[in-house]
Protein backbone atom coordinates (compact mmCIF):
# COMPACT_ATOMS: atom_id res chain seq x y z
CA UNK A 1 0.00 0.00 0.00
CA UNK A 2 1.32 3.49 -0.79
CA UNK A 3 2.41 5.18 2.43
CA UNK A 4 2.96 8.78 3.47
CA UNK A 5 6.00 9.48 1.22
CA UNK A 6 4.45 8.06 -1.93
CA UNK A 7 1.09 9.75 -1.39
CA UNK A 8 2.61 13.10 -0.42
CA UNK A 9 4.92 13.14 -3.45
CA UNK A 10 2.08 12.23 -5.80
CA UNK A 11 -0.11 14.95 -4.29
CA UNK A 12 2.64 17.49 -4.95
CA UNK A 13 3.02 16.36 -8.57
CA UNK A 14 -0.72 16.53 -9.22
CA UNK A 15 -1.08 19.88 -7.48
CA UNK A 16 1.72 21.36 -9.57
CA UNK A 17 -0.02 20.18 -12.74
CA UNK A 18 -3.67 20.89 -11.91
CA UNK A 19 -3.95 23.69 -9.35
CA UNK A 20 -5.76 26.64 -10.89
CA UNK A 21 -7.46 24.60 -13.60
CA UNK A 22 -11.24 24.25 -13.81
CA UNK A 23 -12.97 20.93 -13.24
CA UNK A 24 -15.28 20.06 -16.14
CA UNK A 25 -16.83 17.08 -14.38
CA UNK A 26 -16.40 14.00 -12.22
CA UNK A 27 -17.37 10.58 -13.55
CA UNK A 28 -17.46 7.37 -11.51
CA UNK A 29 -16.47 4.42 -13.69
CA UNK A 30 -17.41 1.78 -11.13
CA UNK A 31 -20.39 1.60 -8.80
CA UNK A 32 -17.93 0.95 -5.94
CA UNK A 33 -15.94 4.14 -6.50
CA UNK A 34 -18.08 6.81 -4.85
CA UNK A 35 -18.46 6.20 -1.11
CA UNK A 36 -20.75 9.17 -0.36
CA UNK A 37 -24.16 10.21 -1.71
CA UNK A 38 -24.13 13.84 -0.59
CA UNK A 39 -22.96 16.36 -1.65
CA UNK A 40 -23.32 15.64 -5.35
CA UNK A 41 -19.85 15.75 -6.99
CA UNK A 42 -21.45 17.87 -9.72
CA UNK A 43 -21.39 20.89 -7.40
CA UNK A 44 -17.65 21.12 -8.06
CA UNK A 45 -18.00 21.29 -11.86
CA UNK A 46 -16.74 24.60 -13.20
CA UNK A 47 -14.75 25.24 -10.03
CA UNK A 48 -11.01 25.73 -9.71
CA UNK A 49 -8.67 23.15 -8.27
CA UNK A 50 -7.36 24.96 -5.19
CA UNK A 51 -4.79 22.40 -4.15
CA UNK A 52 -4.15 18.67 -4.14
CA UNK A 53 -2.57 17.56 -0.88
CA UNK A 54 -2.20 14.53 1.33
CA UNK A 55 -3.27 13.47 4.80
CA UNK A 56 -1.70 10.26 5.99
CA UNK A 57 -2.35 7.74 3.19
CA UNK A 58 -5.17 9.83 1.68
CA UNK A 59 -5.14 12.23 -1.25
CA UNK A 60 -7.29 15.34 -0.92
CA UNK A 61 -8.41 17.20 -4.04
CA UNK A 62 -9.79 20.56 -2.90
CA UNK A 63 -12.00 21.76 -5.75
CA UNK A 64 -14.43 24.64 -5.33
CA UNK A 65 -16.87 24.01 -2.47
CA UNK A 66 -15.89 20.38 -1.81
CA UNK A 67 -12.96 18.11 -1.12
CA UNK A 68 -12.59 14.81 -2.94
CA UNK A 69 -10.88 12.46 -0.46
CA UNK A 70 -9.23 9.49 -2.17
CA UNK A 71 -7.94 6.37 -0.46
CA UNK A 72 -5.81 4.25 -2.77
CA UNK A 73 -5.89 1.16 -0.55
CA UNK A 74 -3.48 -1.59 -1.65
CA UNK A 75 -3.34 -1.29 -5.43
CA UNK A 76 -4.80 2.13 -6.23
CA UNK A 77 -3.23 4.88 -8.31
CA UNK A 78 -4.33 8.45 -9.00
CA UNK A 79 -2.57 9.94 -12.00
CA UNK A 80 -2.98 11.88 -15.25
CA UNK A 81 -4.88 10.00 -17.95
CA UNK A 82 -3.61 11.04 -21.40
CA UNK A 83 -5.07 7.96 -23.13
CA UNK A 84 -8.63 8.69 -21.96
CA UNK A 85 -9.75 5.14 -22.74
CA UNK A 86 -13.51 4.60 -22.55
CA UNK A 87 -12.95 1.53 -20.36
CA UNK A 88 -9.55 1.90 -18.69
CA UNK A 89 -8.17 -1.18 -17.01
CA UNK A 90 -9.03 -1.05 -13.33
CA UNK A 91 -10.68 2.34 -13.81
CA UNK A 92 -12.76 3.54 -10.85
CA UNK A 93 -13.28 7.28 -11.37
CA UNK A 94 -12.20 10.16 -13.60
CA UNK A 95 -11.88 13.92 -13.06
CA UNK A 96 -12.33 15.82 -16.34
CA UNK A 97 -10.80 19.14 -17.39
CA UNK A 98 -11.25 21.22 -20.53
CA UNK A 99 -7.58 22.16 -20.87
CA UNK A 100 -5.75 19.31 -19.15
CA UNK A 101 -5.63 15.53 -19.33
CA UNK A 102 -8.15 13.91 -17.00
CA UNK A 103 -7.07 12.50 -13.65
CA UNK A 104 -7.86 8.79 -13.38
CA UNK A 105 -8.29 6.63 -10.28
CA UNK A 106 -7.44 3.01 -10.96
CA UNK A 107 -7.00 -0.06 -8.80
CA UNK A 108 -5.28 -3.30 -9.67
CA UNK A 109 -7.13 -6.53 -8.95
CA UNK A 110 -10.81 -7.20 -8.54
CA UNK A 111 -11.60 -6.19 -4.96
CA UNK A 112 -12.00 -2.46 -5.70
CA UNK A 113 -11.57 -1.22 -2.15
CA UNK A 114 -10.13 2.14 -3.23
CA UNK A 115 -12.65 4.93 -3.33
CA UNK A 116 -13.66 8.57 -3.30
CA UNK A 117 -15.46 10.50 -0.57
CA UNK A 118 -16.93 13.91 -1.42
CA UNK A 119 -17.20 16.18 1.63
CA UNK A 120 -18.11 19.78 2.37
CA UNK A 121 -16.43 21.70 5.16
CA UNK A 122 -13.47 20.46 7.16
CA UNK A 123 -12.51 16.93 5.98
CA UNK A 124 -10.71 16.35 9.29
CA UNK A 125 -14.10 16.08 11.01
CA UNK A 126 -15.61 13.62 8.53
CA UNK A 127 -15.05 10.13 7.15
CA UNK A 128 -12.59 8.85 6.15
CA UNK A 129 -10.15 11.41 7.64
CA UNK A 130 -11.80 11.85 11.03
CA UNK A 131 -9.88 10.11 13.79
CA UNK A 132 -6.50 9.99 12.08
CA UNK A 133 -3.49 10.60 14.27
CA UNK A 134 -0.94 13.29 13.49
CA UNK A 135 1.30 12.98 10.45
CA UNK A 136 4.07 10.61 11.48
CA UNK A 137 6.83 13.06 10.66
CA UNK A 138 5.13 15.98 12.42
CA UNK A 139 5.27 14.67 16.00
CA UNK A 140 7.99 15.75 18.37
CA UNK A 141 9.80 13.40 20.70
CA UNK A 142 7.50 13.94 23.69
CA UNK A 143 4.37 13.48 21.58
CA UNK A 144 5.76 10.23 20.24
CA UNK A 145 6.52 8.97 23.74
CA UNK A 146 2.96 9.75 24.84
CA UNK A 147 1.42 8.14 21.74
CA UNK A 148 3.39 4.91 22.04
CA UNK A 149 3.30 4.49 25.81
CA UNK A 150 -0.42 5.19 26.26
CA UNK A 151 -1.37 1.63 25.35
CA UNK A 152 0.42 -1.68 25.75
CA UNK A 153 0.99 -3.39 22.44
CA UNK A 154 3.55 -4.50 19.90
CA UNK A 155 5.60 -1.70 18.39
CA UNK A 156 5.13 -2.77 14.77
CA UNK A 157 1.35 -2.69 15.11
CA UNK A 158 1.37 0.61 16.96
CA UNK A 159 3.41 2.29 14.23
CA UNK A 160 0.88 1.10 11.64
CA UNK A 161 -2.15 2.25 13.65
CA UNK A 162 -3.48 5.25 11.72
CA UNK A 163 -5.25 6.54 14.84
CA UNK A 164 -1.86 6.90 16.52
CA UNK A 165 0.38 8.01 13.65
CA UNK A 166 -0.96 8.72 10.18
CA UNK A 167 0.89 7.56 7.09
CA UNK A 168 3.01 4.59 8.19
CA UNK A 169 2.47 1.13 6.76
CA UNK A 170 4.21 -2.23 6.71
CA UNK A 171 7.34 -1.17 4.86
CA UNK A 172 8.04 1.93 6.92
CA UNK A 173 7.27 0.11 10.18
CA UNK A 174 9.86 -2.54 9.28
CA UNK A 175 12.39 0.08 8.24
CA UNK A 176 11.85 2.32 11.28
CA UNK A 177 12.29 -0.54 13.74
CA UNK A 178 15.48 -1.61 11.99
CA UNK A 179 16.97 1.90 11.81
CA UNK A 180 16.16 2.41 15.51
CA UNK A 181 17.52 -1.05 16.37
CA UNK A 182 14.37 -1.90 18.33
CA UNK A 183 12.45 -5.17 18.16
CA UNK A 184 9.23 -4.86 16.13
CA UNK A 185 7.59 -6.83 18.94
CA UNK A 186 8.76 -4.57 21.77
CA UNK A 187 6.01 -3.65 24.23
CA UNK A 188 5.20 0.01 23.57
CA UNK A 189 4.35 0.67 27.22
CA UNK A 190 7.83 -0.47 28.25
CA UNK A 191 9.93 1.41 25.71
CA UNK A 192 12.93 3.10 27.33
CA UNK A 193 13.75 6.78 26.87
CA UNK A 194 16.66 5.81 24.66
CA UNK A 195 14.42 3.63 22.48
CA UNK A 196 11.94 6.49 22.12
CA UNK A 197 14.79 8.80 21.09
CA UNK A 198 15.97 6.33 18.47
CA UNK A 199 12.47 5.70 17.17
CA UNK A 200 11.77 9.41 16.79
CA UNK A 201 14.97 9.87 14.79
CA UNK A 202 14.23 6.73 12.75
CA UNK A 203 10.72 7.87 11.80
CA UNK A 204 12.04 11.17 10.48
CA UNK A 205 14.96 9.48 8.70
CA UNK A 206 12.89 6.75 7.03
CA UNK A 207 10.22 9.17 5.82
CA UNK A 208 12.77 11.73 4.61
CA UNK A 209 14.71 9.09 2.68
CA UNK A 210 11.58 7.69 1.05
CA UNK A 211 10.16 11.12 0.29
CA UNK A 212 13.40 12.24 -1.37
CA UNK A 213 13.42 9.09 -3.48
CA UNK A 214 9.76 9.41 -4.44
CA UNK A 215 9.94 13.12 -5.21
CA UNK A 216 12.74 12.43 -7.69
CA UNK A 217 10.41 10.22 -9.76
CA UNK A 218 7.79 11.41 -12.24
CA UNK A 219 5.19 8.90 -11.06
CA UNK A 220 4.27 6.84 -8.01
CA UNK A 221 6.71 3.97 -7.73
CA UNK A 222 6.02 0.28 -7.30
CA UNK A 223 6.41 -1.26 -3.87
CA UNK A 224 9.44 -3.35 -4.88
CA UNK A 225 11.30 -0.27 -6.11
CA UNK A 226 11.09 1.71 -2.86
CA UNK A 227 14.07 2.02 -0.49
CA UNK A 228 14.34 -0.89 1.94
CA UNK A 229 16.98 -2.27 4.27
CA UNK A 230 14.96 -5.19 5.64
CA UNK A 231 11.43 -4.93 4.21
CA UNK A 232 10.90 -7.96 1.94
CA UNK A 233 14.61 -8.69 2.20
CA UNK A 234 14.35 -11.96 4.12
CA UNK A 235 17.31 -14.21 3.44
CA UNK A 236 19.53 -11.29 2.43
CA UNK A 237 22.35 -9.83 4.50
CA UNK A 238 21.53 -7.05 6.96
CA UNK A 239 23.22 -3.88 5.64
CA UNK A 240 24.30 -2.97 9.19
CA UNK A 241 25.80 -6.17 10.57
CA UNK A 242 25.71 -8.80 7.83
CA UNK A 243 23.39 -11.17 9.70
CA UNK A 244 20.54 -12.67 7.69
CA UNK A 245 17.30 -10.67 7.51
CA UNK A 246 14.49 -12.75 8.99
CA UNK A 247 10.70 -12.75 8.71
CA UNK A 248 7.66 -13.42 10.84
CA UNK A 249 4.85 -14.28 8.46
CA UNK A 250 1.22 -13.35 9.02
CA UNK A 251 -1.71 -13.97 6.72
CA UNK A 252 -1.86 -10.37 5.47
CA UNK A 253 1.69 -9.09 5.98
CA UNK A 254 5.27 -9.89 6.97
CA UNK A 255 7.42 -8.43 9.73
CA UNK A 256 11.08 -8.28 8.74
CA UNK A 257 13.92 -7.76 11.19
CA UNK A 258 17.56 -8.47 11.98
CA UNK A 259 18.09 -10.56 15.10
CA UNK A 260 21.58 -9.19 15.74
CA UNK A 261 20.56 -5.54 15.40
CA UNK A 262 17.10 -5.67 16.97
CA UNK A 263 16.50 -8.63 19.27
CA UNK A 264 19.87 -9.26 20.94
CA UNK A 265 20.44 -12.24 18.65
CA UNK A 266 17.17 -13.98 19.51
CA UNK A 267 15.24 -15.41 16.58
CA UNK A 268 11.48 -14.96 16.63
CA UNK A 269 9.20 -17.90 15.96
CA UNK A 270 7.56 -17.62 12.56
CA UNK A 271 3.99 -17.80 13.80
CA UNK A 272 1.38 -15.42 15.15
CA UNK A 273 2.37 -16.01 18.77
CA UNK A 274 5.87 -14.69 17.90
CA UNK A 275 7.49 -16.31 20.94
CA UNK A 276 11.25 -16.46 21.08
CA UNK A 277 12.83 -19.63 19.82
CA UNK A 278 15.28 -21.29 22.15
Cβ partners under 8 Å of residue 236, min gap 6: 244, 245
- Using H for helix, E for strand and C for coil, what is the string for 127-157? CCCCCCCCEHHHCCHHHHHHHHHCCCCEHHH
Task: Please give the CATH topology (third level) of the domain spanning 136-227.
Answer: Helicase, Ruva Protein; domain 3 (1.10.8)
pLDDT at site 221: 87
pLDDT at site 271: 58
- Using H for helix, E for strand and C for coil, what is the string for 206-246? HHHHHHHHHHCCCCCCCHHHCCCCCCCCCCCECCCCCCEEE
Whole-structure pTM value? 0.92
pLDDT digits (tens, 9 = 90+) for 116-168: 999 999 999 999 999 999 999 999 999 999 999 999 999 999 999 999 999 99
Between 43-47, 85-89, 134-138, 220-224, the lowest mean confidence (pLDDT) is in 220-224
List the domain boundaries for the chain: 4-125, 136-227
Distances (CA, A) of 248 to 205, 256, 268: 24, 7, 7
- Nearest CA among 73, 135, 76 for reference residue 104: 76
pLDDT over threshold 70, residue 278: no
- Nearest CA among 46, 162, 23 for reference residue 93: 23
Gap between the Cα atoms of 178 and 169, Å rounded = 14
How far does the chain reach from its first CA to its final CA, in angstroms? 34
Bridge-partner residues for 96, per DSSP? 25
pLDDT at site 255: 96
The CATH number, out of the four listed (3.10.20.30, 6.10.140.120, 3.20.190.10, 3.40.50.11540), of the domain defined by the range 4-125? 3.20.190.10
pLDDT digits (tens, 9 = 90+) for 200-238: 999 999 999 999 999 999 999 887 889 899 999 999 999
Amino acid sequence: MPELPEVRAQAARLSDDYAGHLLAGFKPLSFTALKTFSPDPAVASGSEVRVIRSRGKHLLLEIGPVTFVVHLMQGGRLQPDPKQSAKPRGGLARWLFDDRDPILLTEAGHEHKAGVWVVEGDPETQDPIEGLGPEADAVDREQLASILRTDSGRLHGALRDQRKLAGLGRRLANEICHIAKVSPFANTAKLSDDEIDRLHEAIDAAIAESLAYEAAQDHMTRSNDRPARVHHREGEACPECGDVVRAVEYRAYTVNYCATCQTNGKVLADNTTSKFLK
